[in-house]
Structure 1
Amino acid sequence: MSTPTVLNLDSGCPALWYSRCPVPTTSGIAQHYRWLHRAFAERGVELQSLRASADARVREAHYNHAHPDMFREGGNVPPIWARSSGQDTLVVGITWVDERQVLLVRDDSPLREPSDLQGRRLGLPKHHTRNVDIARTAHLRGLLTALELAEVPREAVAFVDIEGGEFDLRETGQAGAGGDRADLLAALLEGRVDAIYAKGASSVALQAKHGLRALLDINAHPDPLVRVNAGTPRPITVNRDLVQRAPELVSQYLAVLLTTADWAREHRDAAVLALAEETASSPESILQGYGESFHLHLRPALSDTYRQGLALQKDFLLREGFLPGDFDVASWIDPAPLAAAEALAGELGWLFRDAR
């Protein structure tokens, strides 16, 4: 890998990097319509996607946050793990778009109620990765939450490891983009496990394509903190030194996200189209997987509930042995860039003049 160049504000065209998960993110919509790129071009700054790099180790920064001068919005497991591993990052905003979280069984399964999970085999992915096993954390938490809601003791079920390889997140449409659930699905269809966890738009597609049945919908629970998992809440993270060296650029990035979220509230259909491409799914799956009103919840914030959800997720990952060490979530969050972004947001209306 070529050595990354740290942002030089005095150079002719300094570069910033961004990444986002293939889920509903404000960054995903803003980059889809090129609003982020246009806003930074006005400042003479080039914005580049980590996921579009030809270098696998550059793309890997989506998971380990090792690339300089990068923004990331998406699932909370990699940034929590990266911070625990020593990466000096800050949370400058949080979004929370609830996603469908279900336990899926075959249609011919004898399981009819969540309590029927007693004595059953639950599929749990296990990836060989240099970084944190994101899928394993998400599936374990989903399965444990389901067991708790069903009042089935953890020790009353058998977790069956389903082996998988390294993660490599690329831009939608590139070879190797997205995750691979084939092994986990095969284990369910072949009867090697009795139930698996699935979430978001992909859970809708899996259920429809393979005639599966949802035994339990975790997302139906009214308490948002019960629904916490790898995808909720989603922190927006950035390297601390970038906040120190170029706070105005960090606030500019956040200001574009704020105005994009406000735009999406009034333009749900256009937001759906952008996110369908972001997630390599259909508009129908977006609405089924994330709810009819997902577009009302894209705005970055730092509310008490968002902060609490992030802290609970860190505690879970630490308790289950996924983190190398502990850290204080409260001191990881810096509200100053988002506060400055609120003041800038009103100046960015020109970005949306040609928007649908």
Structure 2
Amino acid sequence: MVEVLERAPAGKTVEVGAREAYYTICPVFVASNVAQEFGWIEEEFNKIGAKLSYLRALAPEQGYLPHFGHQLDHLFRDGGNIPSIWAKADVTDTTLIALTAGHHGGQIVVRADSDINRVGDLKGRRFGLYKSQNSDKVDWWRATGARGILVALKLAGLQRSDVEIVDAPAEDRGFGNASRPSELWSQRRREDLVYTAEVRLLEEGKVDAVYTSHGRGQTLERTGKYKVIEDFSRYPDWTLQVANSPYALTVNSDFARNNRDIVVAFLKATVRAARWINANREAAATVLNRVTYHQTPADTAAAIEATDFLPNLSAQNLAGLDIQKKFLVDHGYVKRDFDSRKWADASYLEEALR
């Protein structure tokens, strides 16, 4: 059963073996989610005498905050790049070993009974914006929403000063004690993942619009109570799809230097899963639906249609990472800037691909 932590920072020490690595994966479209569901990461680890453990199997006070800040010496983290950037900038030394592009930049949602039909109609109106009450971690969802709102306004010829931003406070409670990601997410209602604090404000009529992700927006529309008035994925401009993406696979640097074979093993399993997903979209959608936000496997299959799951450190993905990083630095979500090219080390992935 998933245990919920009301409010507590990481306080207990986690004993980690010399050849043991923990992993944590966000509920997003990355190949490692499939690799761990099939046991392929553990299979690769067994070949080299290493042990794989799931971070979120720990109690919340031990496993929740390290998911965002990498405060565990032997940790692989795959998923949204905002926590990964924050961890590298302000928390601990990590190495970027792979990226996966995202293809859905998000949507702007309003109530279906409103007279708002396009973003231009929001001039003088109110945007709800999530605000975490947990000061021990980066507010990644607020950062994602804040950038999404600014992108939408710019596309509509509006400025930040043309709208009012209304904060939507959220407890941001930790949770854990799950054996694997699919258990972690299956024991949380999908409605809880969709009806975030700012959506509740929209539901109550306290704001006029919110930014949300594609899967959440789709679910909201199907209730008949909401409508999407802007969808960034309809634009050919790939920079508009940067929304806590491209997804970043990172590992603590000292661990990577001292355990190269373990890092390569993790990537080998991820590459194997990526190739399988790319060749078996419908079957893969069933697996990915267990660990992501879309309502059905068919929704997931449609959402991943354009995604190349083979991780890389391409110039375009690194450029996308820099777009996200610049926003975080410029708006105070991270304190220190750094060179993404020096953060990235392609040698591990190159070895895994041989």
* Same fold per superposition (TM over 0.5): yes
What one-letter code is carried by the residue in structure 1 that aligns with 2:47? E
The verdict on how the C-alpha distance between 1:252 and 1:198 changes in structure 2, with shifts beyond 3 A counting, is same
Aligned residues: 334
The verdict on how the C-alpha distance between 1:111 and 1:275 changes in structure 2, with shifts beyond 3 A counting, is same
User: What aligned pairs does 1:119-130 form with structure 2 within 5 A after superposition?
Assistant: 119-129=124-134, 130=136
Cα distance in 2, alignment partners of residues 190 and 287 from structure 1:
33
Determine which of 302, 326, 350 is the counterpart of 1:339: 350
Determine which of 65, 69, 72 is the counterpart of 2:74: 69
Matched residue, 1:353: none
Determine which of 128, 144, 159 is the counterpart of 1:153: 159
What one-letter code is carried by the residue in structure 1 that aligns with 2:160? R
Matched residue, 1:352: none
Contact 1:94 1:236 in 2 (8 A): yes
Matched residue, 1:4: 14
Determine which of 16, 35, 40 is the counterpart of 1:35: 40
Matched residue, 2:247: 234
TM-score with structure 2 setting the length? 0.89
Determine which of 136, 145, 164 is the counterpart of 1:139: 145
Q: CA RMSD in A?
A: 1.9
Contact 2:44 2:268 in 1 (8 A): no
5+ residue gaps, structure 1: 9-13, 344-356
The verdict on how the C-alpha distance between 1:176 and 1:2 changes in structure 2, with shifts beyond 3 A counting, is farther
1:151-203 alpha-carbon deviations (Å, 9 max, x no partner): 11111100010110124354223458974634322211221111111103222
Matched residue, 1:44: 49
Determine which of 181, 189, 200 is the counterpart of 1:186: 200
Identical pairs, percent: 31
Deviates more, 1:104-113 or 1:137-146: 104-113
Q: What is the SS of the residue equivalent to 2:42? A: helix
TM-score with structure 1 setting the length? 0.89
What one-letter code is carried by the residue in structure 2 that aligns with 1:36? I
Instruction: State whether structure 2 residue 209 is matched by structure 1 residue 195.
Output: yes
Contact 2:125 2:164 in 1 (8 A): yes
Instruction: State whether structure 2 residue 312 is matched by structure 1 residue 301.
Output: yes
Cα distance in 2, alignment partners of residues 325 and 34 from structure 1:
37
User: What aligned pairs does 1:179-328 form with structure 2 within 5 A after superposition?
Assistant: 179=193, 181-230=195-244, 232-279=245-292, 281-288=295-302, 290-294=303-307, 297-328=308-339
Q: What is the SS of the residue equivalent to 1:235? A: strand
Matched residue, 1:11: none
Q: What is the SS of the residue equivalent to 1:277? A: coil
5+ residue gaps, structure 2: 1-10, 177-183
Deviates more, 1:53-62 or 1:184-193: 53-62
1:101-123 alpha-carbon deviations (Å, 9 max, x no partner): 11011111111122112111001
Matched residue, 1:17: 22
| 1:100 Cα deviation after fit | 5.6
Contact 1:205 1:285 in 2 (8 A): no
| 1:291 Cα deviation after fit | 4.2
Cα distance in 2, alignment partners of residues 133 and 167 from structure 1:
12
User: Hey, which bits of structure 1, 4+ residues long, moved more than 6 A?
Assistant: none
| 1:44 Cα deviation after fit | 2.3
The verdict on how the C-alpha distance between 1:40 and 1:338 changes in structure 2, with shifts beyond 3 A counting, is same
Contact 1:5 1:68 in 2 (8 A): no
